[in-house]
Amino acid sequence: MVRRIALRDDLFVEGPPPRLVCGKCFETGEISYPLRADARDRVEVDGAGTLLNFTRVLRGIPGLNTSFAIGLIKLDAGPVLTAPLVDWENADLRSGARVSMVIGEIKRDASGNVFVGPKFRPAESVGT
């Protein structure tokens, strides 16, 4: 039986809507992602943010569609993270573009189990 498994505990809550599990510093109020062991408060934040920068890899192994994109995202809640982008092929990727988080497949194991985690979609692709 194929299972859907979180890539790691305490990274996200599937929702709806999906949310990232972050830590909040008691003294400064700073929010960090991923949740650090020394964080006193656990908070969940939505995945809305701004694309700071990105890279697209368009060439892969001949015969396989292995193109992908990775983005540097500043969440509205404060943390900056690097994550895979989805639905980017026909989007106007640019620094400053709005993105939203989705939970999607990161990898599969030999048994076909699907490991899922946070990915980000350009806002213009939301709902498509």
CATH code of the domain in which 8 resides: 2.40.50.840
How many other CB atoms are there within 10 angstroms of residue 23's CB atom?
A: 21
Q: Which domain holds residue 14?
A: 4-125
- pTM across the whole model: 0.85
Report the domain count for the chain: 1
pLDDT of 127 strictly over 60: no
Name the more confident of 73 and 111: 73
Reduce the DSSP state of residue 100 to 3 states and report it: strand
Identify the pLDDT of residue 63.
64
> What's the mean pLDDT in 32-50?
89
Q: Which residue has the tokens 């498994």?
A: 5
| pLDDT tens-place string over residues 87-122 | 999 898 999 999 999 999 999 898 889 999 999 999
How many other CB atoms are there within 10 angstroms of residue 48's CB atom?
A: 16
Q: How far apart are CA 67 and CA 48, in angstroms?
A: 24
